[in-house]
Amino acid sequence: MTSDAWHKLETAFARALSLQGEQREIFVAEFAAAEPALGAELRRLLSADGDADAELVDPIAATAASLARERGDPWVGRVIGAWTITRRLAGGGMGAVFLAERSDHQYEQAAALKVMAAQLVAPEAIGRFKSERQILANLNHPFIAKLIDGGSTDEGVPYLVMEYIDGMPIDQYCDGKRLRVAERVALFRKVCEAVDYAHRNLVVHRDLKPSNILVDAQGNPRLLDFGIAKLIEADSARHTVAMTREGTRVMTPEYASPEQVRGQPVSVATDVYSLGVLLFRLLTGQSPYGANPTTPLEIARAIVELDPRRPSTAVSLTGSDAQVGEHRRVSLDVLRRALLGDLDNIILKSLQKDPERRYPTAEALAADLRRYLANEPVQARGDDWLYKGRKFTIRHWRGVTMTTLALVGSAAIAGYYTKRLTDERDRANLAASQAAQVSGFLSRLFDSASAFASKGEAITAFDLLEQGSRDIEQLREQPQLQAELQRIMGTSYTSLGFTTRSTPMLEAALATKEAATPRDELSIAETLENLSEAYRQQGQLEPAESYLRRALAVREAELGENDALIAHTQARIGAVLHDRRDYDGALAIEKQALETFIALGLGEDPAAIDVRGNLCNSLDSLGRYDEAAAMFAETIALSRRIEGEMDPNTLIRMANYGLLMTRQGRLDEALQQFDVALERGRKVWPEDNDNLAFMASSRAAVLKRMGHMSDALAGYEEAARITRKGLGEHNARYSMRLRGLGTVLLDMGRYQQADAMLQRALQLAIELQGEDGPQAAQLWMFLGMSSREQQRPAQAEAYLRKSLAHANRMTKYNQLNARSTLAAAISAQGRYSEAEQLVQQLLGEMIAVNGENSPVNIPFLSMAGVHYRRAGNLQRALEMGERAYRLAEPEMAKARWVAALAVADYADTLREARRPNDAERLYREAHVVLVRTFGAKDPRTRRIAAQLGV
Residues identified as active-site:
207
- Complete DSSP assignment for 385-423: HHHHHHHHHHHTHHHHHHHHHH---HHHHHHHHHHHHHH
CB 49 within 8 A of CB 281: no
CB 392 within 8 A of CB 407: no
Region for residue 346 given its phi and psi (left: phi exceeds 0; alpha: psi -120 to 50; beta: otherwise) = alpha
- Complete DSSP assignment for 654-721: HHHHHHHHHHTT-HHHHHHHHHHHHHHHHHHS-TT-HHHHHHHHHHHHHHHHHT-HHHHHHHHHHHHH
Task: Dump strand ranges (E) for 213-291.
Answer: 213-215, 221-223, 230-231
With a CB cutoff of 8 Å and minimum separation 6, the contacts of 561 are 596
- SS3 at position 799: helix
Residue 509 CA: distances (Å) to CA of 238, 364, 464, 466, 513: 33, 21, 19, 17, 6
DSSP state of 356: G
CB-neighbour burial class of residue 547 (10 A; exposed 0-12, middle 13-18, buried 19+): buried
Distance CA 543, CA 653 (A): 26
Distance CA 737, CA 719 (A): 6
DSSP state of 102: E
Cα Rg of the chain, angstroms: 33
Distance CA 487, CA 502 (A): 9
Task: Compute the CA torsion angle 636, 638, 639, 644 (nearest 10 deg).
Answer: 120
Q: What is the maximal distance between C-alpha atoms in the chain? A: 111
Region for residue 493 given its phi and psi (left: phi exceeds 0; alpha: psi -120 to 50; beta: otherwise) = alpha
CB 947 within 8 A of CB 930: no
CB 786 within 8 A of CB 749: no
DSSP state of 144: B
CB 626 within 8 A of CB 852: no
